[in-house]
């Protein structure tokens, strides 16, 4: 997202090559991952910023040169701000997922942001990460604090999502599979377990990870991967070895929780059905083909599927630590309730029909 934070760009190019080579070489773990997972890799969201950063050379002191896009805009402060609405809804009641965008949102964001929003809305993404540099930590939502403070001020209190325990686990998976992130001491800062709630680090408004969680089915974390935002070429091999297993393990995390189909009585797919988990105030929806995916930690859950015009269906399901639990829903169409007229009204009609008015 930031053109001057280039390690993530190189790691994703290397990851793409690694997945292809290992698949071709018969690596069973990689073959299973590729065959069972729709993997999308975008090495750079800000190619214009990268060109500016790369042109200044490695020995200059322009720490922020290339961070923004060609229009001078920070793309990770450019997504529609949905946090304000979710914090209100959490307090007073209201929608807890897929918050709508303003009518004029396309005119309020940069071309790169608009393209990414249209991309993530077009596919039923489940899990993602965006890659940065300047620190070494796995950052999870929310990024925007209830008490908005900017970077450099005293740390705000953590602002957790309803899926806080799951997000902490996702962050720890990356941190502990990484060569040194989990040590905590990196780049002159300390993060226990190498993870942090975004808002407790510094509050960030209009970021991509919160937007994903609040507008789509996708659970996203932010990975800060290097102290040096533009490391020299000779450090890339060490960085790849430090991140390779973490990248693979993070991809594998998409296969946990529950998944399945939502169908009607005639086995037609039901897109847009809402999947609710009791005790977690964040729902997901089924995709265009009626398929849904809900990331969950191991445990026993009460899960309900609802769709307009259908009776809700509720099941109890136990999720294990391994493969996701397959849970299909078949919803029955609601039977309209016939409202009876009050007895006195019927009697009045009968009298009038017999004797006329008056």
What is the set of active-site residues?
A: 224
| 201: its two tokens | 């680090």
Contacts of 216 (CB under 8 A, 6+ apart): 98, 120, 121, 125
Residue 303: burial class (beta carbons within 10 Å; 0-12, 13-18, 19+): buried
Query: Are 100 and 190 contacting, i.e. CB atoms less than 8 angstroms apart?
Result: no
Q: Nearest-CA neighbor of 305 among 284, 326, 335, 282?
A: 284
Distance CA 141, CA 143 (A): 5
304 bridge partner residues: 276, 314
Query: Are 201 and 132 contacting, i.e. CB atoms less than 8 angstroms apart?
Result: no
Distance CA 3, CA 316 (A): 46
Residue with tokens 């399901």: 317
Which element (helix H / strand E) includes 299?
A: strand 299-306
DSSP for residue 284: E
User: How do strand 313-319 and strand 299-306 relate by DSSP bridges?
Assistant: antiparallel
């Amino acid at each position: 997202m930031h053109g001057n934070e280039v390690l993530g760009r190189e790691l994703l190019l290397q990851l793409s090559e690694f997945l292809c080579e290992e698949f071709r070489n018969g690596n069973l773990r990689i073959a299973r991952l590729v065959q069972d997972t729709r993997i999308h890799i975008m090495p750079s969201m800000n190619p214009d910023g990268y060109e500016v950063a790369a042109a200044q050379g490695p020995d200059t002191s322009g720490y922020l040169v290339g961070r923004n896009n060609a229009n001078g805009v920070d793309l990770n402060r450019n997504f529609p701000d949905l946090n304000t609405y979710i914090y209100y809804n959490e307090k007073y009641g209201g929608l807890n997922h897929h918050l709508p965008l303003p009518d004029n949102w396309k005119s309020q964001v940069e071309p790169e942001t608009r393209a990414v929003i249209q991309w993530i809305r077009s596919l039923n993404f489940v899990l993602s990460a965006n890659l940065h540099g300047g620190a070494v930590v796995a950052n999870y939502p929310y990024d925007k604090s209830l008490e908005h403070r900017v970077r450099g001020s005293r740390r705000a209190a953590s602002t957790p999502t309803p899926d806080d325990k799951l997000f902490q686990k996702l962050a720890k998976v990356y941190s502990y599979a990484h060569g040194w992130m989990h040590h905590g001491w990196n780049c002159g800062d300390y993060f226990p377990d190498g993870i942090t709630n975004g808002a407790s680090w510094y509050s960030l408004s209009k970021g991509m990870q919160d937007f994903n969680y609040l507008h789509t089915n996708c659970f996203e974390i932010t990975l800060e991967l290097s102290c040096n935002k533009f490391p020299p070429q000779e450090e890339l091999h060490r960085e790849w070895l430090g991140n390779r297993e973490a990248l693979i393990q993070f991809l594998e995390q998409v296969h946990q929780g529950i998944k399945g189909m939502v169908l009607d009585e005639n086995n037609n797919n039901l897109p847009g059905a809402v999947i609710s988990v009791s005790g977690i105030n964040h729902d997901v929806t089924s995709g265009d083909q009626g398929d849904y995916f809900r990331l969950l930690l191991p445990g026993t859950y009460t899960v309900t599927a609802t769709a307009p015009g259908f009776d809700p269906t509720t099941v109890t399901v136990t999720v294990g630590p391994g493969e996701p639990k397959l849970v299909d829903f078949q919803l029955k169409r609601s039977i309209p309730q016939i409202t009876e007229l009050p007895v006195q009204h019927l009697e009045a009609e009968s009298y009038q029909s017999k004797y006329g008015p008056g």
